Amino acid sequence: MTGTAKTHAKGFKPEAKKHLGQHFLHDQGIISMIVHAVDPKPGDRLVEIGPGQGAITFPLLDRHGELTVIEFDRDLIFPLSEGARAHGTLEVIHRDVLTVDFTSLANESRIRLVGNLPYNLSSPILFHALDHAAAIRDMHFMLQKEVVDRMAAGPGSKVYGRLSVMLQAYCQVIALFDVPPGAFRPPPKVDSAVVRMIPHAPDKIGIDDRALFARVVRDAFGQRRKTLRNALSQICEGVSIEAAGLRPDARAEQIEVADFVRLSNWLKANGS
């Protein structure tokens, strides 16, 4: 246990803190569905983000025997460690997850990330995980349903956008099931959903310049009603995107993820 404050007795349940996105799961059916979706196997290296009061942590420990958790709220550290004793071996990292090097947590196995994430930090956590994609075997996250819909959307969908392309370029994204507000205490104002993400093998990603790829996707969707030619006029200055095999009158929302990769690689090779 790192940085632990032994401030509370066993069984103490602190009030939920809004600024930490605390909505604690209490629906046992949903908790079982998450554990079932993760389906831990012997030797798996499980890491949970934001264990809270242990709603997913303890059932996962019952199944798997050991788990590492990353929790920022000091008031939860002692109750978690104490509560875990009856379930298995818990390593608690008391840190902001955005400062945790996931790669260093992987041992001979890549890590399997699990979490009912604080919704105010979902995008930063997703992008932080992508930075460590090579060390991650899979992820199972509870997020706002609206975010999961955007993550999993394909071309032609109203919600296909920057998040869809950036995540799907690096991972397979599979929406698993929806979760109503009543499954949490306190209930959030929005519906939630559980998503599975499986990083592609590094040699399958094929992005030659990650920063350029991110810029192409950002600019393309930054002006989503413009044609690709106009939206990318700055990046593509002096080069024609027809030469990259794309229709210049197409809009970003019609372009496949693989075509964004091809376009950014072509721009890299042709001097952007």
CA 84 to chain centre: 25
Q: What are phi and psi of 6, to 5 degrees?
A: -90, 70
Nearer residue to ligand SAM within complex by CB, 76 or 244: 76
Q: Output 30 or 235, the one with its CB closest to ligand SAM.
A: 30
| Residue from 40, 118, 161, 199 in contact with ligand SAM (CB under 6 A) | 118
Dihedral-angle region of residue 245 (phi above 0 means left; psi in -120 to 50 means alpha; beta otherwise) = left
For the beta carbon of residue 2, count every other beta carbon within 10 angstroms.
9
Nearer to ligand SAM, 76 or 261 (CB): 76
Q: Is 71 or 253 the residue whose CB approaches ligand SAM more closely?
A: 71
Given the rule CB under 6 A, which of 6-14, 78-86, 93-101, 217-225 is the region that contacts ligand SAM?
93-101
Rounded-to-integer distance, Cα 42 and Cα 152, Å? 29
How far is it, in rounded angstroms, from Cα 19 to Cα 61? 27
Q: Are strands 136-144 and 192-199 parallel, antiparallel or unpaired?
A: antiparallel
Distance (Å) of CA 111 to CA 68, 83, 135, 138: 10, 23, 6, 7
81, 116, 192, 265: which one binds ligand SAM (CB under 6 A): 116
Verify binding: residue 35, ligand SAM, rule CB under 6 A: no
Of 23-31, 59-67, 190-198, 212-220, which segment contacts ligand SAM by CB under 6 A?
23-31
The residue within the footprint of ligand SAM, chosen from 8, 14, 24, 128 (CB under 6 A), is 24
* Interface contacts to ligand SAM, rule CB under 6 A: 20-25, 50-53, 55-56, 70-73, 76, 96-98, 116, 118, 121
